[in-house]
Amino acid sequence: MYNFNYHRPLSVDEAVALAGGAPEGRLLAGGQTLIPTLKQRLANPTDLIDLGEIAELKQLSTEADGGTLVVGAMCSHASVAASDMVRAAIPALAHLADGIGDAQVRNLGTIGGSIANNDPAADYPAALVGLGASVRSNHREIAAEEFFTGMFETALEPAEVISSVAFPVPSKAGYAKFANPASRYAIVGVFVSQGGDGVRVAVTGAGPSVFRVPAMEQALASNFSADALEGIAVDAGALNADLHASAEYRAHLVGVMAKRAVAAAG
């Protein structure tokens, strides 16, 4: 790891100022991706701004008479998984959080850190897009689909700090993941939901960034059951391929996981 200046601000404003003032500042959330990256010397920030002491980023709440669940950016995966509020509002989200990495990663890793990194195989992007969530930062609100712009890329500006994610509470939702046997990231993860906004099907792991599957959404809109997805194929052409799964296999798994997510949604 290259050395850096370490900062521990107590407010978002302070964090924004520190990030903006550093020659090459990086925000440190839970660190479960950033620290391994630094250890491999793949990044060389001058300053690391640790968001871990900013209490306002750790809030979990509901808004709009319970119609929206707001998860603070520094909420750990474990806290989301264990939250009664989350389990009551969107159990699929708690289930998703409970399947990220391993127990120790879930104790430190955060939703804000995960979505800011936008790893193509991360779980949370599927939930954000699959629920039509919006990302709130220190100065704006961004719809999930505009937030995730490409592989490891987001709409975040330099020194912009995510404060929370607002999830519309659906009538039903489910998440099914086929984990990479080695890394435990998603080879394919499919999040489905049915709510006021209609049906959403969002896929992570399979492509360069999270994407929706309109054909599945249409089929589920008229018949929200696993059987409705029978025969709907995803084009393997644009999907990822690696040692663990070819594009063709990933395309197949999108169909299988979508059905399982629908079944889990009940």
Partner 1 sequence: MPTVSMTVNGSHVTKEVEGRTLLVDFLRQQLSLTGTHVGCDTSQCGACVVHLNGKSVKSCTLLACQAEGAEVTTIEGLASDGELHPMQAAFKEHHALQCGFCTPGMIMSAVDLLQNNASPSETEIREWLEGNFCRCTGYHNIVKAVQAASQGS
Partner 2 sequence: MPEGTGIGAAVRRKEDQRFITGKGRYTDDIDRPGQVYAHFLRSPHAHATVKSIDSSAAEACPGVIAVFTGKDMEADGVGSLPCGWTVTDKHGEPHKAPPHFPLVRDKVRYVGDHVAMVIAETLAQAVDAAERIEVDYEELPANVDGTKAPDSGTPQVHEEAPANLCYDWELGDQAAVDAAIAGAHHVTKVKLVNNRLIPNAIEPRAAIGEYDSGTDSYTLYSTSQNPHLLRLILCAFVLGLPETKVRVIAPDVGGGFGSKIYCYAEETACTWAARKVERPVKWTAARSESFLADAHGRDHVTHAELAMDENGKFLAMKVETNANLGAYLSNFATCVPTYLYATLLAGQYTTPVIYCNVKAVFTNTAPVDAYRGAGRPEATYVVERLVERAAREMGIDPAELRKRNFVPDDAFPYQTPVALTYDSGQYGLAMDEALKLADYAGYAARKQDSQSRGKLRGIGFSAYIEACGIAPSAVVGSLGAGVGLWESACVRFNATGTVSVFTGSHSHGQGHETTFSQLVSDTLGIPLENVEIVHGDTGAIPMGMGTYGSRSLAVGGSAISKACDKIIEKGKQIAAHLMEASVDDVEFEAGNFVVKGTDKSKAMGEVAFAAYVPHNYPEDLEPGLEENAFYDPANFTYPAGTHIAEVEIDPDTGVTEIVNWVAVDDFGKVVNPMIVEGQVHGGIAQGVGQALLEGCVYDPGSGQLITGSYMDYTMPRAGDLPSFKVGMTETPCPHNPLGVKGCGEAGAIAAPAALMNAITDALGVEIDMPANAEKVWRAAQSQRAAAE
Chain contacts with partner 2 (rule: CB under 8 A) = 1-3, 40-41, 178, 181-183, 243-246, 249, 252-253, 256
Report CA Rg, the chain.
18
For partner 1, which is the closer residue by CB, 39 or 140?
A: 39
Query: Tokens representing 186?
Result: 């998603």
Q: How far is the CB of 202 from partner 2 (least distance, A)?
A: 20
Complex with partner 2: residue 3 or 222, whichever CB lies closer:
3
Say which entry of partner 1, partner 2, none residue 217 contacts (CB below 5 to 8 A, set by partner kind). none
Query: 9 or 207: whose CB is closer to partner 2?
Result: 207
Q: Which is nearer to partner 2, 44 or 171 (CB)?
A: 44
**Contacted by 26, from partner 1, partner 2, none: CB < 5 to 8 Å by type:** none
Residue 42 interacts with, from partner 2, partner 1, none (CB under 5-8 Å by kind): none
If the CB atoms of residues 114 and 194 are measured against partner 1, the closer one turns out to be: 114
Q: Does 31 bind partner 1 (CB under 8 A)?
A: yes
> Binder to partner 1 among 6, 11, 150, 171 (CB under 8 A)?
6
